[in-house]
Structure 1
Amino acid sequence: MPLNEYKAGASFPGVVGRTTDVSTPAWPEPKRSKDGAPNVLFIVLDDVGFGQLGCYGSPINTPNIDALAADGLRYNNMHTTALCSPSRSCILTGRNHHSNGLACITEGSTGYPGYNGYIPFENGFLSEILLQQGYNTYAIGKWHLTPAEQSSAAGPYDRWPLGRGFERYYGFLGGDSHQYYPELVRDNTQVEPETTPEEGYHLTPDLVEKAKAMIADAKQVAPNKPFFMYFCTGAMHAPHHVPKEWADKYKGQFDDGWDAYREKVFARQKELGIIPQNTVLSRHDPDVPDWNALSADERKLYARMMEVFAGFLEHTDHYIGELIQFLKELGEYENTLIMLISDNGASAEGGPTGSINEVKFFNNVPENPAQNLAAIDDIGGPKYFNHYPWGWTHAGNTPFRRWKRETYRGGISDPLIITWPAGIEAKGELRPQYAHAIDLVPTVLEALGIEPPTTIKGVTQSPIQGISLAHAFNDSHAPSKHLTQYFEMLGHRSIYHNGWRAVCPWPGTSFAEANHPLGAPISYEQLIQLDAQGWELYNVDEDFSETNNLAAQERERLIAMIGMWYVEAGKYNVMPIDGRVTTRGLEERPQIAADRQQYTFYPGAQVVPPNASPRVVNRAHSVSVEATIPEAGAEGVLFSMGGNDGGFSFYVQNGLLIYGYNYVADTYYRVKATQPLPSGHHIFSVQFEPTGPADIPNGKGTPAKVTLLVDGQPVGEEHLPVTTPIALGWSAGVAVGSDPGSPTMPDYQPPFKFTGKVHKALVDVTGESVEDHADQMRIYLARQ
């Protein structure tokens, strides 16, 4: 006999008598999906350019992604925002990135509505919508949608995955992560990887295993309940990490260089029909050297960097294939709507020469080619945070010009594959309709027959700004419905309207041709000048790769499109235009706790992420650790803020107190005590005193005098000629009593846990001398 059920908010339809024999029960109706509702799987790749997947003309093997394309649709006119967090916010909300407060990554947020990094709750996530429809909702991998200063254990958690409609989460909250030593979060709690790199750990297979487990957990209990999974690898973002055997599969395949790659991919794209036959290959970029002009050592190094990238992509494809095969084994593949997309074009964060530490780029530190060449055999392994050079970036975006962070098509045109065997009849077909990341949510809702909700958790919802692509699922000739789309990223602007694109590059058409340095702010006077003379115009219906600038011939059209850009900018919170790049990271932002000059940290607590940690770069500070040393001595890390990409560690080794400073993995400085570590209860301190100005544009933080102290008495001193100017490193959070993740210093294996007893640690940024205030410091620590 079926149960008597009633909907939420309805009155109780049963009968309540004085006893059960004269009463009739009724139950609140559980949230159930429609019968036969499909699963939804978003697969978001990171920094994959238009010309890097096999099914988009690349020589890199991606058989599992290619199989998805063969079983569904490839789009050649898909667009993103040119940067990761902004694009991801569009993918999940169906609203433009400035409407989401994500004009930039969360670490680059500023105090304006379109820039503050706080995705409004009125912009509901697809997870929140589908949760109301009876779906299980899972997020796996990269998140990067929480304000950076709110990603600590202090929360708030309302903008973490579980606060935005996901029932379960496993991944990393930041923009990238070490693939062998990731900073992992399960639901709302930090966790450590279950194995080590030496035991074969790599993030991608870990993410796939957790994804499969989440699906299986629910399907074995409720096989008819659909799921929405947002699956985001750390690949292909730096660091390009992959086991050596995968990179070695490509040995010698890129020895002819990036120019040859572009020509081969361009020809293959025409052969596949991915690009129109009349497409012209964009010019050789002025910022990229001719391959044949490079030295033999440079060609050797750069070819290896690309071999590593290619192996990383094939490795990623392999594990995506495992996830898809799992769906087939469960019998769920046919009725799963799969959307695979990249968040922006190929990345140029490796600089002109590539890098063994991407953090150098964000600190304006120039590369050392000899140092990079010496590392060639270890690139791709856990030792480095590597990224390939601009030449491969440019090649990866074939046939377009430029790359990530810029709104030429190389930065915003991305692969999109949609596969749904039970719902889309077409197989292996191309779709040329204009599309943008904001179109994915409305496409899913139309495909599932769901109306966008007017409220979520009591919050009235804003209109979805994207337009569904579902009308063209089975009709390649269906007209584009998305007719106008603005773009703005780090001051680089463009707009699409009905087959035309106007572009206003900043700081210029290339760095070599720019009149301003990368990351320069845009003044009001400069903006007026740019609007008068800086815009270009392309008929992309006829000129797919933006090679024929028609600004002079179509002046009236250009002026109209510039005006249209400002209309869209006003509508979506794009103002004020900000051309800064790395220096946005220096902005002061609201913190959960009031600003203070002394911070106390405890052993056993979760690592405090960089954006919630004390700001110690380029300023006087001290770290004091209260610890007990047994008679037999001790070793290990007392306090750390770093990883192998940069930071500092305060540790004991071979009976000596040591301060190790990792300057962007370029140079390692060590300050050692001149006398053995004493046993007993003590306060161990390190004092950092700037001795000169920082030179941030040239990648140099302040030089400093570093003093080691025991109970306020100096026991060692050295001078650091240079320190990190902007950001210590992506993993430079505060840890007490160990150095978890990748090792900050090459002197030890992580976590190098302290074998004595650490009681607490104090970070002081008052600039006051530890020696002069040792008694006050002891009292302060004793009171905590």
Structure 2
Amino acid sequence: MAIVEYEPGSAFPGRIGRTAAESSPAWPAPTRAREGAPNVLLFVLDDVGYGQLGCFGGLVDTPNIDRVAGNGLRYANMHTTSLCSPSRACILTGRNHHSSGVACVMEAAIGYPGYDGRMPFENGMLPETLLEHGYNTFAVGKWHLSPSEENTAAGPFHRWPLGRGFERYYGFLGGETNQWYPDLVQDNASIQQPALPEDGYHLSADLADQAIRLVLDAHVNAPEKPFFLYYSTGCGHAPHHAPKDWIERYRGRFDAGWDAYRQTVFARQKEMGLLPETAQLPAHDPDVPPWDGLSDDEHRLYARMMEVYAAFLSYTDHHFGRLLDTLERIGELDNTLIMIVSDNGASSEGGPTGSVNEMYFFNQVPASLEENLAKIDDLGGPHAYNHYAWGWTWAGDTPFRRWKSETYRGGTTDPFIVSWPERITARGGIRRQYAHLIDLMPTVLDALDLSPARTIRGVTQSPLEGVSFAHTFEDADAPTRHTTQYFEMFAHRAIDHDGWRAVCPWPGPSFTEAAKKGRRFGSPTTPEILDELETTAWELYHIAMDPTESVNVAAEHPAKLRELITLWWAEAGKYQVLPLDGSLTERIRAERPKISRPRTRYTYYPELSVIPFANAPSPYNRPYSIEADVDIPPEGAEGVLFAQGGSAGGQVLYVKDGQLHYVHNYVGRDLMQVDSTDGVSPGRHKLRFEFEPTGAPDIGQGKGTPGRAQLYVDEVLVGNAELPHTTPIVFGIEGASIGYDFGEPVLDDYAPPFEFTGTIHEVTVDLSGDLIQDDEAMVQRLMAQQ
């Protein structure tokens, strides 16, 4: 007897009698995708510039991404927001980033509708729609779309991946993570990494393993059910980490430098047809030194930095290829709509000289050539948190000017690839129609012949703000349907309209030019400054003729410039772009609402999951204490009591060799330590660290407040040291852990996790400033012993 099905909510079509023998059954129909519906694979790269992938003329080997491009289409005119969280919001919602409250990264949210980081549920995500049409929905890798304050084990979880339409998730919630020691979440829970670097672990391989497992698990149980896989790698965001043998493959490949790289890639892009013959390479960036003017040591260091980055990208491409091979093996590759895109241009967060530790940038710590050279052999490995120099950022964005977080095309124009062998017959073609990340969701829905959802979980949906470009799949000459697009990031502004582009750079066209006016990246915008910018700073480019923004024609076309400026302000009002805010440090340090009430005292227990870094205590530039209530067994104990951060910056209180120790890791540069003069005896004790400021911080020079570091056992002072400076803004991206050191160790004095072998009853971190009053004679005696 055939099964009778009916639409849930409609009348029961069977018959109900007094008994089953007198009745006929019917079943609510399960949600099924239409027959032959394609899979959707969205592969999102991070901080990969227009001129880095092989298929876009770049000199990095990406054979698997190139394979997809060769089997499909390259879009030469795809645009992003110039920063990660905003771009991802556009990709998944089909709305502009300010419309979703994601003006900036989640860590810099501020209290205005376009900036608060609380993505509204009326802006439904692509997986929420596809789930209702019978798709499995999986996310692997970087999320960065939930407020940092909500990324804890207390939730709420409604803005985590599983709360926004994904059925399964494996990855990291923040903006970046250590590739050797990642901060992993599976579904709605923090987990330990499955292996260590010495066992061959690297996150790129792990993410591919998980993606393959999710696809295969679903396929063998329901072969006809399509999937949507959002595969969002950590590559090529800092830290640039790669296995050493992959790095060695690139030895010598970039010795010619960034000027030669840019010339070579520009020529290749023209040969490929990505650029018209009339395109010009913009003038040399004022912030980048000419390669020929650098010393041999600088050549050696900077070339190595690029070798590491290239290895990272190639290694990630290799593991992406494993996923492609899996789809081919199970017969699903041809019926998979694949889209590959980067979230923004290449990153400048390494500074002018690059860095062995990206946390220098976030703490405003100047890097030095000598320091970088001393650690050249660590680059890419577990003991570095490296990022390349501005020259490679600029080269990676060839043929455009500038980079990530700015709205010149180097920050906002990125590689984009589409492949769907069963439906897109073109192979290796190029499309030049204007497109933006807000167009991806409408394009997927259009290609799948699906309409945008009217409601999702009872919430009426806002209109999509992007437009489909699926009509260009088979028609290279089809007209562009996206004719106007605004941009704003840290008050850096631009607008595209009908082949023209206006840009208002902030703090200036380059950092060098901005410095002449006393401005720097992250400088706040004031009404007086804005008035000046409106009359003097806007630039105009005829992109239809000058795609690389080489010639500013504002003086020749003042009426056109006024038209575009007026249009930018109209778009700003429409999409919640105001108020303009060019600040950085102020936004990162802004107070934001948390689920728990404001507090200065945190009590932790050893059974806890990792405390995410955004919700760990903020001990910067203030008096504070860490106290562990412990039992030491008769045979003694050792291990970590409290750890926060990692080798890129952090602090740890631990017991080793019978003594109590505290170490403050200042951006991986200085390890400042205080040790107890006496051992810790068996029994129950209060083991305490205190920090008492003795001076003022110098944030502009990357120095937090100096102070006195002291250790106590049961309120008896047993250790004292002076810290000349401390971390001013943020330790790093690792969270805090109790009773062990999660992931990357704060220092090499122990191997993680270095679990405490006694009993921890609780650990209290107190930021109130309530400190023990010391006997100054005891302090002086201990200082003499340190």
TM-score range relative to shorter protein: over 0.9
Match of 2:767 in 1: 765
Deviation at 1:745, TM superposition (A): 1.5
Q: C-alpha distance in 2, partners of 1:264/1:654?
A: 57
1:42 aligns with 2:45: no
Of 567, 571, 575 in structure 1, the residue corresponding to residue 570 of structure 2 is 567
- 1:631 deviates by 1.7
Q: Which residue of 2 aligns with 1:94?
A: 94
Question: How much does 1:368 deviate?
Answer: 2.5
CA distance in structure 2 between the partners assigned to 1:692 and 1:208 by the alignment: 49
CA distance in structure 2 between the partners assigned to 1:436 and 1:474 by the alignment = 19
Counterpart selection for 1:636 from 617, 621, 639: 639
Q: Tell me if structure 2 keeps the 8 A contact 1:661–1:745.
A: no
CA distance, structure 2, for counterparts of residue 337 and residue 245 of structure 1: 33
Residue aligning to 2:80:
80
Deviations 1:454-508 (A, max 9, x none): 1000000000000101011001111110000000001100000010000000000
Distance 1:322 1:58 in 2: 22
TM superposition shift of 1:615: 2.0
Name the residue aligned to 2:543: 540
In 2, Cα distance between equivalents of 1:511 and 1:59: 27
Instruction: State yes or no: 1:359 paired with 2:362.
Output: no
What SS does the aligned partner of 1:513 have? helix
Residue 734 of structure 1, CA deviation: 2.1
Which one-letter code corresponds to 2:385 in the other structure? F
Given that residues 384 and 645 in structure 1 are in contact (C-alpha distance below 8 angstroms), is that contact kept between their aligned partners in structure 2? yes
Alignment root-mean-square deviation, CA? 1.0
User: In 1, distance between residues paired with 2:754 and 2:611?
Assistant: 18
Give, in angstroms, the shift of residue 612 of structure 1: 1.4
Q: Which amino acid aligns with 2:220?
A: Q
- Kindly provide the amino acid, as one letter, of the partner of residue 730 in structure 1: I
Contact kept, 8 Å, 2:736 with 2:742, in 1: the verdict is no
Aligned equivalents of 2:29 and 2:260: distance in 1? 62
Q: Equivalent residues in 2 for 1:357-396 (5 A)?
A: 357-396=357-396
What pairs up with 1:73-152 in 2 under 5 angstroms?
73-152=73-152
Match of 2:680 in 1: 677
Residue aligning to 1:521: 524
Equivalent residue, structure 1, for 2:438: 438
Indicate the residue corresponding to 1:736 in structure 2. 738
Question: Which runs of structure 2 are paired with 1:456-475 in the superposition (5 Å)?
Answer: 456-475=456-475
Report the alpha carbon displacement of residue 4 of structure 1 after superposing the two structures with TM: 1.2
Q: CA deviation at 1:643?
A: 1.0
- C-alpha offsets along residues 565-608 of structure 1, whole Å, 9 cap, x if unaligned? 01100111000001012331100000110011211001021111
3-state DSSP of counterpart to 1:673? strand
SS at match of 1:238: coil
Name the residue aligned to 2:254.
254
Shift of 1:632: 1.6
Give the C-alpha shift of residue 746 in structure 1: 2.1
Q: Is the 8 A contact 2:4 2:25 kept in 1?
A: yes
1:403 aligns with 2:403: yes
Distance in 2 between the 1:251 and 1:344 partners? 27
TM-score by length of 1: 0.98
In 1, Cα distance between the equivalents of 2:431 and 2:126? 24
Of the three residues 578, 583, 589, the one matched with 2:581 is 578
Query: Which residue in the other structure is 2:553 paired with?
Result: 550
d(CA) in 1 for partners of 2:525, 2:90 = 26
Alignment of 1:154-169 (within 5 A): 154-169=154-169
Distance 1:24 1:519 in 2: 70
Q: CA deviation at 1:13?
A: 1.7
Q: What is aligned with 1:745?
A: 747
Where do 1:590-601 residues align within 5 Å? 590-601=593-604
Contact 1:302 1:388 (C-alpha < 8 Å) held by counterparts: yes
How far is 1:772 from its partner?
A: 8.3
Aligned partner of 2:783 in structure 1 is none
SS at match of 2:247: helix
Q: Which residue matches 2:14? A: 14
1:219 aligned partner: 219
User: Corresponding residue for 2:691?
Assistant: 688
Pairwise mapping of residues 471-482 of structure 1 onto structure 2 (< 5 A)?
A: 471-482=471-482
Is 1:494 equivalent to 2:494 in the alignment? Answer: yes
Looking at structure 2, the residues matched to 582 and 128 of structure 1 have their Cα atoms a distance apart, in angstroms, of: 35
Please tell me the residue identity of whatever aligns with 1:636. G
How far apart are the structure 2 equivalents of 1:506 and 1:212?
43
- Equivalents in 2 of 1:222, 1:170: separation in Å? 21
C-alpha separation between the residues in 1 aligned to 2:728 and 2:366? 12
CA distance in 2, matches of 1:2, 1:567: 59
The amino acid that maps onto 1:180 is W
SS at 1:393 equivalent: helix
* Distance in 2 between residues matched to 1:418 and 1:105, nearest whole Å: 27
Query: Structure 1, residues 224-275: CA drift from partner, whole Å, max 9, x if none?
Result: 0000000011111001100011111111111111001001101111111111
Greater shift, 223-232 or 597-606, is seen at: 597-606
Q: Deviations over 1:47-69 (max 9, x none)?
A: 00000000111121111111101
Is contact 2:80–2:344 with CA below 8 Å preserved after alignment? yes
Q: CA deviation at 1:771?
A: 5.3
Aligned twin of 1:777: none
CA contact (8 A) 1:171 1:207 kept: yes
Q: Secondary structure at the match of 1:674?
A: strand
CA distance in 2, matches of 1:451, 1:555: 42
Contact 1:695–1:701 (8 Å) recurs in 2: yes
- 1:779 is matched with none
Aligned counterpart, 1:603: 606
**Matching residue's letter, 2:741:** D
Counterpart of 2:709 in 1: which secondary structure?
strand
Do residues 624 (structure 1) and 649 (structure 2) align?
no
Local SS of the residue matching 1:560: helix
C-alpha contact 2:483 2:497 (8 A) present in aligned 1: yes
**Residue by residue, what CA displacement relative to the aligned partner does 1:351-376 show, whole Å, maximum 9, x if unpaired?**
00000110110110000221211111
Percent sequence identity is 56
d(CA) in 1 for partners of 2:659, 2:586: 38
What aligned pairs does 1:711-730 form with structure 2 within 5 A after superposition?
Answer: 711-730=714-733
Measured against aligned partners, the alpha-carbon deviations of 1:660-699 in whole angstroms (never above 9, x if no partner) come to 0000111111011111122110010101111111111221
SS in structure 2 of the partner of residue 2 of structure 1: coil
Amino acid at match of 1:599: Y
Question: Is contact 1:363–1:582 with CA below 8 Å preserved after alignment?
Answer: no
Q: Which amino acid aligns with 1:761?
A: V
How many residues end up aligned between the 2 structures?
A: 772
2:732 aligned counterpart, secondary structure: coil
Following the alignment from structure 1 to structure 2, what is the Cα–Cα distance between the partners of residues 464 and 558?
Answer: 28
CA contact (8 A) 1:15 1:25 kept: yes
Give distance in 1, aligned partners of 2:715 and 2:625. Answer: 11
Structure 2 alignment gaps of length 5 or more: 776-786
Q: Partners of 1:517 and 1:332 in 2: how far apart?
A: 50
Q: Report the Cα distance in structure 1 between the residues aligned to 2:631 and 2:422, rounded to whole angstroms.
A: 65
Matches within 5 A, 1:174-253: 174-253=174-253
Aligned residue identity for 1:534: A
The alpha carbon displacement at 1:713 in A equals: 1.3
In the TM superposition, residue 21 of structure 1 has moved relative to its aligned partner by 1.1
Whether 1:650 aligns to 2:659 is no
Counterpart residue number, 2:277: 277
Correspondence for 2:348: 348
The SS at the match of 2:356 is coil
State how far apart, in whole Å, the 2-side matches of 1:54 and 1:772 are.
63
Residue 704 in structure 1 maps to residue 715 in structure 2: no
Local SS of the residue matching 1:220: helix
Describe the superposition over 1:299-352 as per-residue Cα deviations: whole angstroms up to 9, x where unpaired. Answer: 101100001111111111111111111100010000000000000000000000
Give the conservation status (yes or no) of the 8 Å contact 2:344–2:411. yes
Residues of 2 paired with 1:765 and 1:628: CA distance? 24
- Secondary structure of 1:385's match? coil
Whichever residue aligns with residue 592 of structure 1, its letter is I
Q: Which residue of 1 aligns with 2:320?
A: 320
